[in-house]
Amino acid sequence: MSPAHRALILLMAALPPAIWGSTYLVTTELLPPDKPLMAAVLRILPVGLVITLMTRYRPDRSQWGKLAVVSLLCMSLLHWPLFVAAYRLPGGLAALLVASQPLLIMVMGWLLFGNRTPRHVAVGVFIGLGGVAMILIAPSRLAWDTVGIAAALVAAFSMALGILLVKRWQLAIPTLAFTGWQLLLGGLFLLPFALAFELPFQQLETGHLGGYFYLAVIGTLLPYFLWYRALRHLEPVLITAFLFFSPISAMLLGYLVLDQALTVAQIAGAIAVFAGILISHYQPGAQRRSGPSERPISQSNNNPIKEPSE
């Protein structure tokens, strides 16, 4: 992989978490109160339907089971608890708990699949987590809601396991179609629960519609396409390290939109986050000379498969 190509992949991995950091602000400021299931469904189901109709890609019969599992983990069991956390916790705290995915991936990858994380990557992850903690502790306005914390941890665990399985199974599905089917199936899994538990739905105002539109188009369509595109080339712990940008994004939006002050500790924490990401993505000299041993998600370990045309 050339330096320019690698830089492009890293940019595609960094943009989605920065965008996802706005989810918490949009949820509390624009969406109807206490409707996490409906927020999850309206965020992922319409976009998934549009993408699948646009791509007209139909997975093979052998792929449906694995596709359903990763859709449940990466979409349904991510977005439902994510919006529960967004409604009940400060945005920064929810983002921190969800951004614990690199640590979860290191542990689960070792326990389930025997994956070993390079030392510099582990150091970078811990530095990044420490920087995020500095950002959050500084304002000292954290509300430790038990249900919200549990929901955020469920979202982090589900997404981490889903990413590990996506990388391990390496389904030979084009990126856009793979994204669309996950969004569609994930939304369909949640739809019956939303209809059963969150109806009647209150009359939507202009702000509500704008919030749902933002989450669906800007917060879902573009970020997930870039995220899964980058995952084809990066190891799970490396791509999820970029999730540390999500709390920074939430903090900056609080400063710009809600007039929240920035402290020296928060600025130092942001610097630590950047340092942790740089350290985790540092390539030792031997690896730089020989090139990264990365394999696209569409290739199996034994039989490389050319990615289907997008």
Average pLDDT estimate for 35-54: 93
C-alpha pair distances (Å), 265 with each of 59, 98, 149, 249, 270: 49, 21, 23, 16, 9
Least-confidence region, from 20-24, 55-59, 107-111, 198-202: 198-202
Give the per-residue pLDDT at 56.
Answer: 92
Q: How does the average pLDDT of the chain come out, rounded?
A: 81
Q: What pLDDT digit, counting tens, does each position of 256-272 carry?
A: 877 666 677 777 877 88
174 versus 253: the higher-pLDDT residue is 174
Top mean pLDDT of 94-108, 157-171, 197-211, 279-293 is at: 157-171
Average pLDDT estimate for 218-246: 86
Give the per-residue pLDDT at 304.
Answer: 35
Confidence of residue 301 (pLDDT cuts 50, 70, 90): very low
32 versus 130: the higher-pLDDT residue is 32
Domain ranges of the chain: 3-290
Least-confidence region, from 204-208, 257-261, 291-295: 291-295
Is the model's pLDDT at 234 over the cut of 70? Answer: yes
Asked if residue 144 lies in contact with residue 279, where contact means CB atoms within 8 angstroms, the answer is no
Average pLDDT estimate for 223-231: 88
Give the per-residue pLDDT at 136.
Answer: 65
pTM here is 0.79
Is the model's pLDDT at 175 over the cut of 50? Answer: yes
Least-confidence region, from 54-63, 71-80, 114-123: 114-123
273 versus 61: the higher-pLDDT residue is 61
Is the model's pLDDT at 242 over the cut of 90? Answer: no
